[in-house]
Structure 1
Amino acid sequence: MLELNRKPLRSYLLAGLLGVVTATVVLPVAPAWAQVRTLPDFTDLVDQVGPSVVNIRTIEKVKASGAGSVDEQMLEFFRRFGIPVPPNMPRAPRPDRGQPQPDEEQPRGVGSGFILTGDGFVMTNAHVVEGADEVIVTLTDKREFKAKIIGADKRSDVAVVKIEASGLPAVKIGDINRLKVGEWVMAIGSPFGLENTVTAGIVSAKQRDTGDYLSFIQTDVAINPGNSGGPLINMRGEVVGINSQIYSRSGGFQGISFSIPIDEATRVSDQLRSSGRVTRGRIGVQIDQVSKEVAESIGLGSPRGALVRGVEAGAPAEKAGVEAGDIIIKFDGKQIEKSSDLPRMVGNVKPGTKAVVTVFRRGATRDLPVVIAEVEAEKPLRKASSPEAKPPVAGPAQALGLVVSDLPDAQKKELKIKGGVRVDSAEGGAARAGLREGDVIVAIANSEITTVKEFEAALAKIDKSKPVNVLFRRGELAQFVLIRPAR
């Protein structure tokens, strides 16, 4: 009797009574990366989503010019230079002199949009409808409707308009968390007025920072003027973004386009539909990025969080105890990786809500409870008042290129700080770091200072051969710099 030899990828079969042995070799399955992939076919997606995409034209009413209409001026231009007049160029009737002329309607722009609901709500970009006296929405079946602007939010560049229609084909909203870099996406819109134009590409990046309240989806889908407001569609036929911006040196597409993530756009559109406006939270701080060098020098480690350069008087942050020079590393328990994360997190919180701000201050963290206020018009920063003249104090500070003096009480009150030293002159390393006369140093080497005496004591303890971090105020804004030793 034959003994079966069980080897990998091989099996032996006994062939009936004849005792013949045959070998069957099982080939390994090719790995996923080695499988042949075909290019996607977008035809089904176009049939599915195309009817939900609309063309948007805007009209602006302008005062009639006494110098003749635009048409007349163009005709005069053609006549003067001997250029044949285009046969399709409209001729405006010459108005009777001395008679008041009605406002003229002039096309203002062309954009795109998509149907949110079957009863006529349409989403587009705020810049598409901004300044329009009349909005015309054209469906793929060539029906035209005058639209009412329900609301527009410039900060997110999202707008919602309404047409009087029913039974419209609404889009499906996708899950932005499932969107992956490298996957295929498609856009439908009206570039240069060419309706129902389809373009495709891949997702180049997610969470690309180009604005205060939004991080964008970056793609290489061809987007041109007129595509604004149209949908970005995944291979499941779901809308994942609104085509909004391009990076271009020529005004046309150059391979980089940006779309508003649909989750952010939906959040805005819901508020516009319910109240016609968008409310956002604020805590009243001016922020900046944290550099790698500053993070290392103050003991933060990695460059993360948002550096507080200024705190608005009477704002929630000031009431909570946030100070200029703090680094906000968490908001309501959520990590802040970069400074642009903070306004987005705070902006999405309903005004009046209680939250916790975690700050890093001079080597330690602390949690500060804060009540979120509503975004309002930005207030201009106050300039520091001219300090009372006091004799400058020389000493160890001169090793850094600084001459400093005690801060006058009037300036302490103006800046709402307990103390600090005024920079009377900055040379050498201090000047190279960006310090200048009139700046107020409030901390050095992670040590808070209120007088020249404290400043010199802190300075005496540092290693003069290494860079020293300095926190200073310039007006109402605070900033870190590193003063490097002379070589």
Structure 2
Amino acid sequence: MKKIASTFLIALFAGAITLGSYKLFFENTNYAIISHDEGQSVFNTSLTPTSPKGAGINEVDFSVAAENTVNAVVHVKNVTVSRTPHSLMDFFYGSGGSERPQVGTGSGVIISQDGYIVTNNHVISKANKLQVTLNNNKTYDAELIGTDPNTDIALIKIDAEGNLPYLAFGDSDDMKIGEWVLAVGNPFNLTSTVTAGIVSAKARDLGKNQSFIQTDAAVNPGNSGGALVNTNGDLIGINTAITSQTGSYVGYSFAVPSNIAKKVVDDILEYGNVQKGILGIKTLNINTPYAIEKGLNEIEGVYISGVEEGTGAEDAKLQEGDVIKKVDNIKVRKFADLTGYLSAKRPDDSVEVTIDRDGDEFTVPVLLKKRQTVIVPVMGLEVKNLTKEDNKKFKTKQGVKIVGVPETYRGYGLEGKVLLSVDNKEINDIEEARNLFGSISRYGKTSITMINENGERERLIFQ
């Protein structure tokens, strides 16, 4: 027994010596020296757990919106027939020559299950034949219902078997800068291509007193007339234009807001043309030397430089020098904010206008009225609706009276005559005149038919 105990003690003592020798001679001890240093960098870390998917775009799911949208976006083919002159007689009088079909393409959005489709006016302009191809590759002939060249919106219709998938209009006024959006269309004849981006700006003016949504979602030729939707799949815009020196996408694209497109469609269906209500104010170009000298280019809002007679603005006692700051609680920073909102209104609608007058702000109701005069696109003629006296004097119930002529056409004796038709299409009021002039080509021939006070008809052709 004593022998066993002695052996155990010897083994224990030998193990202790071995362990101590290892610690002393072989194991390196690491020492951390902590000192106070005023120049030491300090890092604060967050204990908030991060998503395994990462941040930003990975947190947004576009799949549902894309799935609900692609089947409601269609391919639109526009076939036009142009005539090539063979002689000087053909060139000047438009007779003879050979016909040559030209094909243009774009996109459209189905907005009702019975086949109404909204697209861009420039997609279907001057079409002799329209065809629509659905996402399932079925093709149908389309009928033109109506257009509005000023907003570049057109409405067409197809008759298909059964109910069609469609998109509901969203409220573009509720859209926020920085919000994710999808652009769906048929660029380069590719079926229902989806691209994503954000809303870069609202109420963007491209020089025609229009109001566009600006986005960085990729839009290319063929996307025109396609859908701009939010992540819920609501239609908030109709893709219309890009800004590019090459004609292809470079980072900016523009869409007609859904509220404007919806109002145009509703007007076409209900009235046959677009009903536009106006405030009746005149504004200054803020980039003129006068505006810069007076500091008007730095005003946040719309400066009223004059009030038109017989309008809602006059009835509400708006006056020169007032600055419009809001309309129906929509903040107005520039003219495009105002025109964009009013484009969704009709004559006889009332809006609440907040005015800054010499530093005092107040709000007044203004009744929108129908404009009686308008300057038509391309030729720049100012025309007005006929009065009862005009109907009696010119012995016609059709047409509009020319009351202003730009310098270019002063020598043709146009002023004071009644304009009856453009390219053989009848004119009944100033809205029809504006639409017809808006759809003519700047590079082709345009014929206008007029009547003078003696009841004599005149026809002029402009190259």
| TM superposition score normalised by structure 1 | 0.56
Deviation at 1:228? 0.1
Where does residue 308 of structure 1 map in the other structure? 304
CA gap of 1:195–1:366, structure 2 versus 1, over 3 A, is: closer
CA gap of 1:167–1:102, structure 2 versus 1, over 3 A, is: farther
Q: Distance in 1 between matches of 2:151 and 2:108?
A: 15
Q: Distance in 1 between matches of 2:226 and 2:101?
A: 23
CA contact (8 A) 2:276 2:347 kept: yes
Deviations 1:218-263 (A, max 9, x none): 2222211111001123333333321111111222111111122223
Q: Which aligned pairs between 1:68-83 and structure 2 lie closer than 5 A? A: none
Instruction: Give the AA of the match of 1:58.
Output: N
Deviations 1:63-82 (A, max 9, x none): 36437xxxxxxxxxxxxxxx
Where does residue 224 of structure 1 map in the other structure? 220
CA gap of 1:125–1:162, structure 2 versus 1, over 3 A, is: same
Where does residue 191 of structure 1 map in the other structure? 187
Q: Distance in 2 between matches of 1:307 and 1:338?
A: 9
Is 1:59 aligned with 2:54?
Answer: no
Q: Which aligned pairs between 1:58-457 and structure 2 lie closer than 5 A? A: 58-63=78-83, 65-66=85-86, 104=99, 106-165=101-160, 166-176=162-172, 179-210=175-206, 214-288=210-284, 303-318=299-314, 320-331=316-327, 335-354=331-350, 359-361=355-357, 370-378=366-374
Q: Distance in 2 between matches of 1:247 and 1:111?
A: 17
Deviation at 1:267? 2.5
CA gap of 1:376–1:221, structure 2 versus 1, over 3 A, is: farther
Deviation at 1:375? 3.3
Where does residue 11 of structure 2 map in the other structure? none
CA contact (8 A) 1:282 1:374 kept: yes
CA contact (8 A) 1:212 1:340 kept: no
CA contact (8 A) 1:290 1:303 kept: no
CA contact (8 A) 1:203 1:220 kept: yes
Q: Distance in 1 between matches of 2:138 and 2:98?
A: 27
RMSD, matched Cα: 4.1
Q: Distance in 2 between matches of 1:358 and 1:171?
A: 35
CA contact (8 A) 1:113 1:122 kept: yes
Deviation at 1:366? 6.9
Deviation at 1:317? 3.3
Deviation at 1:146? 1.6
CA gap of 1:360–1:178, structure 2 versus 1, over 3 A, is: closer
Deviations 1:81-117 (A, max 9, x none): xxxxxxxxxxxxxxxxxxx979736124111011111
Deviation at 1:42? 5.2
Give the number of the structure whose alpha-carbon radius of gyration is greater. Answer: 2
Instruction: Give the AA of the match of 1:163.
Output: I
Instruction: Give the AA of the match of 1:154.
Output: P
Instruction: Give the AA of the match of 1:52.
Output: A
Deviations 1:315-366 (A, max 9, x none): 4434554444443345467653323333344444431345565554556567
Q: Distance in 1 between matches of 2:138 and 2:332?
A: 48
Secondary structure, counterpart of 2:261 in structure 1: helix
Q: Distance in 2 between matches of 1:256 and 1:265?
A: 20
CA contact (8 A) 1:354 1:369 kept: yes
CA contact (8 A) 1:288 1:339 kept: no
Q: Distance in 2 between matches of 1:58 and 1:341?
A: 33
CA gap of 1:182–1:101, structure 2 versus 1, over 3 A, is: same
CA gap of 1:174–1:369, structure 2 versus 1, over 3 A, is: closer
CA contact (8 A) 2:75 2:191 kept: yes
Deviation at 1:56? 0.6
Number of aligned residue pairs: 323
Q: Any gaps of 5 or more consecutive residues in structure 2?
A: 1-45, 88-94, 383-463
Q: Distance in 1 between matches of 2:278 and 2:126?
A: 28
CA gap of 1:365–1:214, structure 2 versus 1, over 3 A, is: same
Where does residue 78 of structure 1 map in the other structure? none
Q: Distance in 2 between matches of 1:157 and 1:103?
A: 30
Deviations 1:146-190 (A, max 9, x none): 211111122222211111123111124445466444444332222
CA contact (8 A) 1:191 1:227 kept: yes
CA gap of 1:328–1:63, structure 2 versus 1, over 3 A, is: same
CA contact (8 A) 2:119 2:155 kept: yes
CA contact (8 A) 2:326 2:354 kept: yes
Secondary structure, counterpart of 1:263 in structure 2: helix
| TM superposition score normalised by structure 2 | 0.58
Q: Distance in 2 between matches of 1:246 and 1:296?
A: 30
Deviations 1:435-455 (A, max 9, x none): xxxxxxxxxxxxxxxxxxxxx
CA gap of 1:127–1:297, structure 2 versus 1, over 3 A, is: closer
Where does residue 49 of structure 2 map in the other structure? 30
Q: Distance in 1 between matches of 2:306 and 2:97?
A: 51
Instruction: Give the AA of the match of 2:148.
Output: D
- Aligned identity (percent) is 36
